[in-house]
C-alpha cells in the first residue's frame, strides 16, 4: 500500500540553523515525504521570516517544500492545526523545529501501515538528550511502554506516544477529532493521541525513530505550563478517568513523580494522596512513595 505523507514543521523564534537541522533530517529520510510544510508562528519578526525563506530556498529536495506564515502568533496548537488544514497527504508527521528524525523513521512507519492498514497512528521509541551544563543525559523516553492495538485506557493515563515529532497519523481522522485543542496546551499532543486512539488502533514500533533535544528553553522543561496542561487534560477527560481507575492512578502517579523531580514536594505528596484515594495501597503506590522520597533526597543533596 502506497500512502501519501505530508511533513509539517512548526517553528517559533527558533534560530535558523536549528530549524535547518530539522529540515535536513526530513530531507535525509530514506522514504521521502510527498511534501514538507514549514509553518512560522512568529511572523511578527520580519527579518526572521526572510531568513527562514532564504534558508528553505537553498535546500534541494525531491519533494515540494512550502513555507507558510501564520497571520499572527497563535500558539503551538493553532500552528499545527494550520498545518493539518493545508497539508495534502493521507498521513501527516509533525516535527518540532529543535528535534531530529532518524533517517528510517518514515520508512518504518509506512511499512507498519502496510502491515496494519487499520492503524490510525504509528509511534516508536524516543531517544532524548538532556543538556545540563556540560553534561548530556541520554535515555529512551518511552521504554517499557510498547503498547499496540486498542490502547485507549493506557494512553488516557500516560502519553507513551510522546510529543508531536514522533507519530505518523491519519490526517482526516485527526481533523474529524477537531484538531489540536488549544485549551489543553501544552498537553494538546496527549489530547490528540487519546482522541485518535478512540477511533482506531495504535502501532508501537520497537525502533528508535527520533532524537529529542531537551534544554532550558524547551517547553518540555517549563514545569508550571506542563502542570496547567495536565489539569486541562484531566478536566476534559474526567468522565473517562472516572470509568478507568487504573488510568487515573497512573496519571496521578506521573504528575507526583514529575512534581518531585522539579522540586515541588507538596504537589508531589498531594497527587500521591489522590493516587491512594483512587486505587488504595498496593505495590505500585509503595513504589511511587519510595521514588518520591528518593527524588527529594537527591535534590537536597544536589545529585
Beta strands in the chain (DSSP E): 5-11, 35-40, 64-69, 91-96, 100-101, 119-132, 135-140, 168-170, 201-214
Q: What kind of fold does domain 5-220 have according to CATH? A: Spore Coat Polysaccharide Biosynthesis Protein SpsA; Chain A (3.90.550)
Omega before 123 within 30 of 0, i.e. cis: no
CA distance 16 to 294: 41
Buried b (16+ CB within 10 A) or exposed e, 223-257: eeebbebbebbbebbeebbeebeebbbbbbbbbbb
In this predicted structure, what is the pLDDT of residue 269? Answer: 97
In this predicted structure, what is the pLDDT of residue 219? Answer: 46
In this predicted structure, what is the pLDDT of residue 160? Answer: 97
Cell 521504554 belongs to 143
In the structure grid, which three cell numbers stand for residue 254, read together?
A: 506521573
Which regions in the chain score pLDDT beneath 50? Answer: 217, 219-220
Q: Is 118 helix (H, G, I), strand (E, B) or coil?
A: coil
Amino acid at each position: 500500500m502506497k500512502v501519501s505523507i505530508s511533513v509539517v514543521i512548526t517553528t517559533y523564534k527558533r534560530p535558523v540553523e536549528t530549524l535547518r537541522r530539522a529540515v535536513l533530517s526530513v530531507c535525509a529520510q530514506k522514504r521521502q515525504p510527498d511534501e514538507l510544510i514549514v509553518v512560522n508562528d512568529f511572523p511578527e519578526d520580519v527579518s526572521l521570516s526572510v531568513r527562514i525563506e532564504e534558508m528553505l530556498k537553498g535546500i534541494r529536495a525531491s519533494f515540494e517544500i512550502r513555507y507558510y506564515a501564520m497571520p499572527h502568533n497563535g500558539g503551538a496548537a493553532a500552528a499545527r492545526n494550520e498545518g493539518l488544514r493545508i497539508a495534502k497527504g493521507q498521513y501527516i508527521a509533525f516535527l518540532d523545529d529543535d528535534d531530529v528524525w532518524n533517517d528510517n523513521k518514515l520508512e518504518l512507519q509506512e511499512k507498519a501501515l502496510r502491515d496494519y492498514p487499520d492503524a490510525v497512528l504509528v509511534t516508536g521509541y524516543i531517544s532524548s538528550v538532556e543538556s545540563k551544563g556540560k553534561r548530556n543525559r541520554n535515555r529512551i523516553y518511552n521504554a517499557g511502554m510498547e503498547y499496540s492495538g486498542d490502547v485507549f485506557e493506557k494512553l488516557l493515563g500516560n502519553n507513551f506516544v510522546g510529543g508531536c515529532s514522533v507519530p505518523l497519523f491519519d490526517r482526516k481522522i485527526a481533523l474529524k477529532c477537531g484538531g489540536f485543542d488549544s485549551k489543553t496546551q501544552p498537553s494538546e499532543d496527549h489530547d490528540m493521541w487519546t482522541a485518535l486512539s478512540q477511533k482506531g488502533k495504535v502501532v508501537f514500533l520497537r525502533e528508535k525513530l527520533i532524537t529529542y533535544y531537551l534544554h532550558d528553553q524547551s517547553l518540555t522543561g517549563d514545569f508550571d505550563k506542563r502542570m496547567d496542561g495536565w489539569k486541562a487534560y484531566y478536566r476534559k477527560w474526567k468522565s473517562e478517568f472516572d470509568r478507568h481507575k487504573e488510568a487515573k492512578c497512573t496519571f496521578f502517579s506521573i504528575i507526583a513523580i514529575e512534581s518531585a523531580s522539579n522540586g515541588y514536594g507538596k504537589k508531589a505528596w498531594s497527587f500521591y494522596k489522590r493516587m491512594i484515594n483512587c486505587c488504595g495501597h498496593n505495590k505500585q503506590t509503595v513504589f511511587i512513595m519510595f521514588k518520591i522520597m528518593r527524588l527529594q533526597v537527591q535534590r537536597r543533596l544536589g545529585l
